[in-house]
């Protein structure tokens, strides 16, 4: 077995046996369910009030109960929710080695540290994309079950393309979260980083720089902010890719060269 295959199969083995990746999947599943609930309420607010789903004086301004609104909600959930939930997944995949002190077994090993880091990235990407596909599939099923109006295959494909790209970029940006899991030797630093970037992405989007700030780009691509924000261009996506490459390089350099005292 090649060192890369060995590293990859062991990382998948660890992920399969832990509750955290499954917890992230369950947590993410809440997004289409809540989105579906909103659609039910928007579709018939009076019926929702009578069922106790909506307060008697509450007014919903989320939009109309149709496919474009629902897909937009789904996209935002994947991009914004993913920024936090994928950070949990990343903090676990990298940070647990320091918390459990199992990192010692990964350092002086015939399988190189770079190979192990790359294998961990692949596990995060695979798991993250699988969760995204699951959430989108669940969302589409819920939308069909509710009987939402306004379906257009072209519009839906365009929306799904945006959601898919947003998910991919959100997952790729976890490279920076991984770096902080190493430097902070645990869970706190990567999660603090994720929260900080989440807050910064909101503020910079409001200030009009969102299309260029890597951590704002996925949510804007997924439709967050609507027409109020500047659309993302190739330049914005390039910024994301540059941030990802820099973070991956920094993570690998840290694993290869930093003193490992944990």
By CB under 8 A, residue 23 contacts other proteins: no
Segment interacting with other proteins, rule: CB under 8 A, options 9-17, 31-39, 136-144, 164-172? 9-17
- Rounded-to-integer distance, Cα 223 and Cα 51, Å: 31
We find the least distance from the C-beta atom of residue 195 to other proteins, in angstroms, to be 26
By CB under 8 A, residue 259 contacts other proteins: yes
Nearer to other proteins, 14 or 49 (CB): 14
Nearer to other proteins, 10 or 29 (CB): 10
Q: Find tokens 């390089």 and name the residue.
A: 249
We find the least distance from the C-beta atom of residue 82 to other proteins, in angstroms, to be 24
Inter-residue contact 217 to 169 (CB < 8 Å)? yes
User: Using CB under 8 A, which residues numbered 186 to 245 contact other proteins?
Assistant: none
- Rounded-to-integer distance, Cα 213 and Cα 15, Å: 31
Tokens read off for 241: 């890719």
By CB under 8 A, residue 22 contacts other proteins: no
| Selected binder of other proteins within 13, 199, 207, 241 (CB under 8 A) | 13
By CB under 8 A, residue 26 contacts other proteins: no
By CB under 8 A, residue 7 contacts other proteins: yes
Binding mask 96-135 for other proteins (x = CB under 8 A): ----xxx-xxxxxxxxxx--x-------------------
The number of beta carbons lying within 10 Å of the beta carbon of residue 258 is: 11
By CB under 8 A, residue 261 contacts other proteins: yes
Segment interacting with other proteins, rule: CB under 8 A, options 158-166, 172-180, 196-204, 253-261? 253-261
- The DSSP output letter for 231 is P
Nearer to other proteins, 113 or 185 (CB): 113
- Rounded-to-integer distance, Cα 95 and Cα 110, Å: 22
We find the least distance from the C-beta atom of residue 125 to other proteins, in angstroms, to be 21
Nearer to other proteins, 104 or 158 (CB): 104
User: Using CB under 8 A, which residues numbered 72 to 101 contact other proteins?
Assistant: 100-101
Tokens read off for 56: 């008697």
Q: Dihedral sign, CA of 96, 7, 82, 233?
A: positive
Tokens read off for 87: 């950070």
By CB under 8 A, residue 57 contacts other proteins: no
From residue 147, how far is each of 154, 172, 257 by CA, in Å?
Answer: 18, 34, 56
Sort 240 into a burial class: Cβ within 10 Å, 0-12 / 13-18 / 19+: buried
Tell how many helices (H) and how many strands (E) occur in the chain.
Answer: 12, 0
The number of beta carbons lying within 10 Å of the beta carbon of residue 214 is: 23
Nearer to other proteins, 112 or 202 (CB): 112
Q: Which residues bind other proteins (CB under 8 A)?
A: 1, 3, 6-7, 9-10, 13-14, 17-19, 100-102, 104-113, 116, 256-257, 259-261
């Amino acid at each position: 077995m090649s060192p890369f295959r060995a590293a990859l199969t062991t990382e998948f083995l660890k992920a399969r046996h832990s509750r955290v990746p499954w917890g992230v999947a369950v947590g993410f599943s809440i997004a289409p369910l809540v989105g579906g609930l909103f659609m039910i309420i928007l579709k018939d607010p009076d019926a929702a009030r009578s069922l106790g789903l909506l307060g008697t004086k509450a007014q919903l301004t989320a939009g109309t109960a149709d496919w474009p609104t629902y897909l937009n909600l789904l996209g935002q959930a994947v991009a914004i929710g993913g920024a936090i939930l994928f950070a949990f997944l990343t903090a676990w995949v990298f940070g647990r080695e320091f918390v459990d002190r199992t990192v010692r077994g990964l350092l002086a090993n015939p399988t190189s540290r770079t190979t192990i880091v790359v294998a961990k990235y692949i596990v995060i990407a695979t798991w993250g994309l699988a969760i995204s596909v699951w959430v989108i599939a669940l969302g589409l099923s819920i939308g069909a079950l509710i009987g939402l109006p306004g379906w257009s295959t072209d519009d839906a494909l365009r929306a799904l393309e945006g959601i898919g790209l947003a998910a991919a970029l959100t997952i790729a940006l976890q490279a920076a979260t991984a770096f902080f899991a190493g430097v902070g030797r645990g869970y706190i630093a990567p999660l603090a980083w994720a929260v900080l970037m989440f807050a910064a992405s909101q503020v910079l989007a409001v200030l009009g720089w969102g299309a260029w700030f890597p951590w704002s780009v996925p949510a804007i691509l997924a439709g967050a902010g609507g027409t109020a924000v500047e659309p993302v261009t190739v330049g914005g996506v390039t910024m994301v890719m540059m941030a990802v490459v820099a973070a991956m390089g920094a993570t690998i350099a840290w694993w290869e060269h930093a003193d490992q005292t944990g």
